[in-house]
Structure 1
């Protein structure tokens, strides 16, 4: 009879398995960095095309908005759009690829808790979003002379937005069973919410009830708050945006922890 004392036991960790979290995080970063032309360069080119169409081609045709030149108004919104879309895309594509290719055991077999899986995937997604945002910011500088009025506001909304959208990407990647379903989420939910959030216009100019509806769009507060860090003016309440982004990030963190704990669409 086997002596229980000599039977191999699963390794136990006190607190968080930081080595495992770091490994998962680096896996996510290296995964998108290996195809940087597709995951980093392509979104930047798309943003520059928006700048060319809405700013360069219409130069002089668009008046300042709240005293801010149109190019300087649009640029922060485009940067935030790049952050949001790429953070979502990183986590969602990673998980659906793992499910379709049968490689989900790579992160389910190691001793990683639901909290550690949440940290690894969300930080990996946030890293891609912020990396694309930084490159985009550098590339739009020749078209818009952006100043910085509040770096803390810029960092807050940039980090919370990338984390929130990364964790939303976790849900989409777990829910979708094929790439068509994932594309539907991005095309019919994420894209309309980002385009209808005041990136290219003042929400105050919208007719009712669309102006009021926009105030319930969380992405509006992400873009509006992020932009205010550059131009020093926010359309909506900055504090509402700060509180909403904090609450949504915490709620999404708990929700991601819950789905990883239950193994929803991963272990069944």
Structure 2
């Protein structure tokens, strides 16, 4: 791609994103708070409730003082996944199925990849708003500010948002009703919420289950966030970054293809 084409792609992407941002900026607090309810329930029920009976050393690495510290990075991963996916999916579905403004976007003379990236960026912002709220809760519970605000931690959160916002764009372009969105949520997002290493260490699983767990992108986010928060850099699982990056790029090309062939 030539330099001028790349600059045009970036400009078009930001233009598409700006349209969503104008709507999103007036709902920042509701968006940030909407994805905070489930993580708070999990933190209270599992972290403070069940976690109080799990002692350090009993299935938990010595890097954690208690089970609550172990699960907090997973809650950041979970919240960013859910809001990035559902917010992006419902936004596109609303434009396609109800307001009927989506057809106008398809007529805009921009590259299909820019359409996907613009919508994906809006989903990333939604995910970061909620993830930021959960990070504040994590800091309040642990007092470890820089554990949750270091560059590796934040990079993984952004990549996780990009992966699931990209998936949300694809689902939003594919479904024909809101009921279909519920099916994706029930059979994809909810199982991944519990199987994506948010509540357990996948290294303790049998080999057969490891294959399933390590097939999920959320697993790499949870493992990476936990390591970035509590482990030295020498023990960071660097493979998590290229896995999430490749997943986000692959979903971008799939989304661009769908935009190029969308019939609405």
TM-score range, shorter chain: 0.7 to 0.9
Match of residue 88 from structure 2 = 91
Match of residue 143 from structure 1 = 141
Q: Deviations over 1:115-168 (max 9, x none)?
A: 221221011000110111011111233323335458232132111111111110
Match of residue 102 from structure 2 = 104
**Cα 1:51/1:16, change in 2 over 3 Å:** same
The CA deviation at 1:37 is: 5.6
Report 1:20-169 matches (<5 A): 20-36=12-28, 38-58=30-50, 60-64=52-56, 65-67=60-62, 68=64, 69-101=66-98, 102-146=100-144, 148=146, 151-169=150-168
**Cα 1:71/1:233, change in 2 over 3 Å:** farther
**Cα 1:134/1:39, change in 2 over 3 Å:** same
> d(CA) in 2 for partners of 1:216 and 1:119?
24
Are 1:259 and 2:247 an aligned pair? no
**Cα 1:151/1:220, change in 2 over 3 Å:** same
Q: Indicate conservation of the 8 Å contact 2:160/2:244, yes or no.
A: yes
Total equivalences in the alignment: 252
**Cα 1:175/1:140, change in 2 over 3 Å:** same
User: Going by fraction, where is helix more abundant, 1 or 2?
Assistant: 2
- Supply the RMSD in Å over aligned alpha carbons: 2.5
**Cα 1:144/1:19, change in 2 over 3 Å:** same
Q: Indicate conservation of the 8 Å contact 1:47/1:78, yes or no.
A: yes
> d(CA) in 1 for partners of 2:178 and 2:33?
22
TM-score, normalised with respect to structure 1:
0.84
The CA deviation at 1:72 is: 1.1
> d(CA) in 1 for partners of 2:137 and 2:145?
15
Match of residue 209 from structure 1 = 208
Q: Tell me, which stretches of 5 or more residues in structure 1 are unaligned?
A: 1-12
Match of residue 4 from structure 1 = none
> d(CA) in 1 for partners of 2:118 and 2:211?
37
SS in 2 for 1:111: coil
Q: Indicate conservation of the 8 Å contact 2:82/2:189, yes or no.
A: yes
Q: Tell me, which stretches of 5 or more residues in structure 2 are unaligned?
A: none
Q: Deviations over 1:96-129 (max 9, x none)?
A: 1111121103422333221221221011000110
Q: Deviations over 1:48-105 (max 9, x none)?
A: 1111111222353112211112111111110111111111112211111111121103
Match of residue 194 from structure 2 = 195
Q: Indicate conservation of the 8 Å contact 2:39/2:79, yes or no.
A: yes
